[in-house]
Structure 1
């Protein structure tokens, strides 16, 4: 397979979509990795496997409707494999293995049948001290946009997934690009004040638009840099509730077509007004784990 990813919105040709089958049921509180999952465990509203399988199958159907090649991970018994974005990412023709939480290392082995088709020269493993997850990484032409957390208390946050060492390593690996990092707001306890990844508070869409949540960024000048990149009139601003609902975590099939949650009425109307076709699914159960459509997809080839 010849990988090719240079941005978030070009026509999608090939993707890994996670699976919810044999999900392992509701985790114990101490096994949860984000405040939103913790909230639903405590409230007895944690999602059921059957509902999540249906939601993901609906996404697979839409992708196939647009002739996208869809790979699904091999199913590991009693194991959460929904969020394939976390386990790796593609920049240009390189597959970068994410250094993720140790408990989740099995997930990458479940797509080994895809990785084996790649040339060894196009596989990159970062040094062990570099922590990174795919939800924090967005190729954007000559830029690589990366969410991080720069606080000295990084190790105190289960929600801090990409460190500055990984940002620096990406710049060394891709010297022809500009790696631009963003210091994100983190919370172990408040899902409305936690930008788990960059795609939880920002996402490009179409050919010149973006979705953004200002309070997801700890540095106002970094938020302003993104707004200036697109132009204020081209940016759809979301609030803390919208971020909690995962409005910025939709997924582009092309510059003209996106998959979005049917629940996002205001966002979907805005996208439609910009000439973007919105294919809707119900992803409310998946959302309870603080991830949505971008989180559950790992693009391999875009035109």
Structure 2
């Protein structure tokens, strides 16, 4: 636990006010703050998903504010965890829960759990860099703060360079997982303009670009058909997310229809192995294509989404 004291009280007030203002819909002034208590691994309640990474309590001379910050670095944010924390914090204008995403987590969706998605303010590396001068001024060891900010600047540079030709990225500190997350995240922003919703998902087996707006239910089942880029290949997949159905068996009657629609649009299509499962690949689309250059990658996703929308889906 850290309590406001020492020679940097005003600097700490300025940083605390800036953090609150960035994370909430209301504004406070540094001069209003009379006390700051910052706690790491703060318990919001008992049990699972109870501890938030950083909890900042502000005393405003009779009034108060509480800012809870959950941090994700490369790992996927969880809706279940965030919903639990939001519930524990309560629905109060004086309390805010913020998700700070660093690394690949900046591009990742909040992983769903079947419940309503949690509405939450999200911070990124760019937000932290914007507070750089305040962070350095308030730090008891400015050189450590400067080193942290320098690493964040390198991370932001990696994000901006993610669509650079891979041959030119040697020595930039990329891991494939990080590069793909950033690439897919930027592609999703471009595709959103054409009303196609794609989401980056950080899975244990790798990074995927999930076509959320491509979801189609197999009639009479709880099986969902959808588009996804996995293992750097564009695929048609089937998922049984709500029961123990065999997704492949349920989707198999629709495979010829989907194949015909894609081939008619000029795509090459390859059928996958017919192994059963709850989440399976039915078809690989243009399996020899690469995700470079980015313009070709995005164009392919736009065209396949258009073909998907125009396919004569059974009711």
TM-score range, shorter chain: under 0.3
Greater CA radius of gyration, 1 or 2? Answer: 2
TM-score by length of 1: 0.26
Q: Which has the higher helix share?
A: 2
TM-score normalized by the length of structure 2: 0.25
